[in-house]
Structure 1
Amino acid sequence: MPYIKEFTNDEKLMEAVQKLQNNGISSKEIYVLSHDDDRTKRIADNANANTIGLSEQDVKTFVGNIFSKKGDELRAKLQEIGFSEEDAHEYEEDMDEGKVLLIVTSNENVEHILV
């Protein structure tokens, strides 16, 4: 299962991404996700991280997301990269509250980097 950490402060999230990259975690394995697409893109661009888009989702999931509510779309994205339906639901609720998720798909032990 991917590593995930919640942030309320965009600057702190970008600092965490920089720390991960400085410790050898590839930017290809670092994702940012929030309820606000513009915010997600801005943070990802500034931090040199990724957003979860078509390349990470199969076409069927992507097409289904076009016609679904935002919460459904975010849960589907989380499930697509390895979270359970239950976990995805919890994280989506946290995003409802304005939190931004930092997700690392690497098998590296990233917890010790972000202490």
Structure 2
Amino acid sequence: MNDKLQKEIEEVRKEVHVLGVRLTLAQAWVGFLNFAYDALLHHGVNYRSLKEYTNSTELDDAQKLPVSAARDKIVGWLGGLQSAIHAAVRRKQFKVHTHDPS
């Protein structure tokens, strides 16, 4: 193969990799939004008010990374946010019962 064709193939492979990363992120984000909507609809938990959502340093850090490492960091952030929503739902369902000895 000549050098020009080899370079074109390498560029196409890089582009396919980047598109795969973008697809993974889009799927993770849509899955998260569906989960968050259900939590809001059924339990009154607004994910945008959670500290895990408002703290965007993870996303800021991800912008400085190569695309594959950024994907891993963003998917991890979404997983942490989903855990925070689970915790908020549990807190909403938690009922305090007081014992009245009289």
TM-score (norm 2): 0.31
Greater helix content: 2
Structure 1 length as normaliser, TM-score? 0.29
Name the structure, 1 or 2, with higher relative contact order (CA <8 Å, separation 6+): 1
